[in-house]
Structures are given as structure tokens and as C-alpha cells.
Amino acid sequence: MATAVQRRQAKALKNPTPVELPSGRWRCQVTVNGKRVSVVEDDPKTAHAKAVALKAEVLKVQKRPDDLTVGEAIDRYIASKDGVLSPSTVRGYKGIRKNNLQTIMHVKLSALTPEAVQMAINDDAKKLSPKSVRNAHGLLSAALSMYAPDLRLDTTLPQKVRHEIGIPTEAEVAAILEEAKGTEMELPLLLAIWMGLRRSEIQGLTWDDISGNVLHVRSAIVRGENGPVEKTTKSFSGDRRLRLPAYILDVLARTPHRGDYVVNLSGQSMYDRFSRMCKRLGLPHYRFHDLRHLNASIMLAAGIPNKYAQDRMGHATDNMLKSVYQHIIVSTREEVDDAVDARFYAILHTNCTPDDKNR
């Protein structure tokens, strides 16, 4: 038979009443699926409201971190960052959750070991690129740092693969721009090649972003879970103003106004049309993003300091510029070798003796 204290507790669980704790916070207790659940909040009304919502199963009881599986921890991590991450980043994270590290997604954090993580990484490395594997491990590490901070990973990851940057030559660019004249692709190509805009920034460009000969790059359209999503630029540095040359201003003046956006092509459409254009011209397969690299290479070849090139392209760091700089060095290596060889040949054929040099 239940005691008076037990009866009072049972009644309190059915009709939760906030109780002030020694800390000054308020606790409400309810029974959900046969288990006692406590809600602690800074004020009694919030504690009571959440307790009632839990009782009515409007809110779900959050599991303790140790009870979470790896998959649940990643889900909670993504949800906790939803308001600050780019829609494309969230989409990418959810793709990792669905497709990567599947051998450990059902494992509870309390049972997860560094060895199990290494084996999951090994499995993914057999079928995915090193970059994809590293991205998945990065998301896992972030979730574990939040929900299992005591678990220390020492995972060996696949070695990074260095990809050579493909940049069209000036002759190829001339052919591309000539092919695009008078088509819907002329303006997007000019904005990428001449102004250095990202494909997402070209999509997000509105007529209000153009004032006189100044272009204000301040938004982008990226792929979210449910289609295109407008957002701010990739970084704080991405919000920038660029002076438009007369040639592009003339193309803009001839561009029909079909709504708020200057370019009415999707990112995929721009990519596909550019790929077909390269094929028609007999050019190598270039990505649309390679046109941005071309813009950087033109500035570096012209001797423009990294600081100004970085500012014009909206980069937070000069990492990409350094990669393009390496490409330029490779492309002009023969000229450099010839110049060095010529200097040494001149030295070897100098008709003088050491005594002559000392006079």
C-alpha cells in the first residue's frame, strides 16, 4: 500500500507544481512513459509549461548524452547549429549522416571506441574520396566534442589528394567569350571571369545591387535541403563592392529585367551550359568555378598584391591565391628556366679573368 508521501508524489507528477531549488532555479516533475522526468528552468512558469508539454508528448524527452547513439548525437549537433550554418552546409551534414560511417551510427556513445571509429573510417575510405572521408570525420569529431568530450580519437585519415587547378588560357577565354556573345551565358561568364564572382553570388545578384558603376556583392543563392536558398555571402569578406567596367555595364544595359534577379539561370544550368560550350569549342573540361581561379591568376600575373586580390575576390584568407600562384609558376616554368639558363650562359661566356674582376 502506498504511503502518504508516495501518494503526494504521484499526485504531483500528474499535476506538476514548480518547486524552487536551493540554487534558485525551479523544478517540475512529470511521468512520461512510466519514467519520472525533471524539468529545471530559471522561472516557474517555463518549468511548468515544459513539464506539461512533455506530459502531453508535445515535447520529446531529451536523452542523456551517454544514451545517445552516434547517429542521434550527429542529428542533435546539426539541429543545434541549424541557425548559424549555411543551408548548403546543413544539407551536406545530413548527407554525411545518411551515407557515411554507417557501421557506427547505431552505436551508443557510451560504447563507442576509437577502434570502432577507425574501422568505420577504413570502410568509407574504400569507396569514398579522401575529402569525403575527412569531412565525415570532422562532423563526427564536432558532435563528439559536444556530447562525449572525454572520448579522445586518434584516427588515421586517408592522405589528401592534391588536385591540379585547371585554368583556361587567355586564348581559350577569348574563344569562350566570343561564343557566349548575345546569349544568356554572356553576363554570368563575364561576372565570373572579369569580376571574380562565385556562381552562387551571380545567382544572388539583384538589380538593386547595382548603383551606377558599382556592384555590391552581398548575397548568394545556394542549394538547401528543399531547393535554392538565399543567404548572405560566404564570409564577412565576401560582402564587397566592385567597380564595373564599361564593357560589362553595356551588357547589363542590354539585359532584360525579368524580376528582381539579374541572372535568371540556376547554378546547375550555368554549369551545364558552360560544359557544353567548352565541348563545342574543343576545350578541356573546365568547371565554372575555374573561371574564378582565372580571375585570380590574371591579377597575380599582373603583379597585383595578394591583399588587394584577396579583397576583390572576397576571400577571408589568401589560401586559394597561393594555390593559383603555384599554378602560374608551373605554367611559366619554361620561361623561368630559360631566363636562369641565359644568365649562367652569359657568365660562362664572359671573357675575363679573376684578376680583371678585382681591378
Residue 352 lies in a domain: no
Report the domain count for the chain: 3
Tell me the chain's radius of gyration from C-alpha atoms.
Answer: 30
Provide the residue range defining the domain that includes 52: 4-61
Residues 199 and 317 in one domain: yes
Measured distance CA(119)–CA(137) in Å, rounded: 12
- Domain membership of residue 43 (yes or no) is yes
- 155 inside domain: no
Residues 227 and 279 in one domain: yes
Q: In this structure, are 48 and 74 located in the same domain?
A: no
Same domain, 324 and 194: yes
Contact 328, 296 (CB under 8 A): no
Instruction: With respect to residue 256, please indicate whether it lies within any of the assigned structural domains.
Output: yes
Asked whether residue 338 is domain-assigned, the answer is no
Task: Tell whether 350 is covered by a domain.
Answer: no
Q: Which of 38, 61, 84 is the last residue of a domain?
A: 61
Residues 55 and 71 in one domain: no
Per-chain mean pLDDT for the chain: 83
* Whether residues 75 and 56 fall in one domain: no
CA-CA distance, 356 to 359, in Å (whole number)? Answer: 5
pLDDT at 81: 84
Q: Report whether 65 contacts 147 (CB < 8 A).
A: yes
Q: What is the DSSP letter of 61?
A: P
C-alpha of 173 from chain center: 28
Rounded CA separation 121/104 (Å): 10
Grid coordinates representing 24 are 534558485
Confidence of residue 127 (pLDDT cuts 50, 70, 90): very high
CATH number for 192: 1.10.443.10
Same domain, 176 and 317: yes
Please report whether residue 143 resides in a domain: yes
What pTM was estimated for this model as a whole? 0.62
pLDDT in tens, 302-313: 777 777 777 787
Helices 186-193 and 170-180: angle between axes, nearest 10 degrees: 150
Asked if residue 87 and residue 51 are part of one domain, the reply reads: no
CATH of the domain at 81: 1.10.150.130
What is the pLDDT, as a whole number, of residue 20? 87
| % the chain with pLDDT above 70 | 82
pLDDT tens for each residue of 184-240 = 999 999 999 898 899 999 999 999 999 999 999 999 888 887 788 888 776 666 788
Among 14, 44, 61, give the residue marking a domain's end.
Answer: 61
Q: What count of Cα atoms within 13 Å lies in the side-chain half-sphere of residue 201?
A: 26
Q: Which of 76, 126, 77, 124 is nearest to 103 (CA)?
A: 124
Q: Are residues 264 and 118 in the same domain?
A: no
Q: Residue with C-alpha cell 563528439?
A: 144
| Residue 292 and residue 176 share a domain | yes
Domain-located, residue 162: no
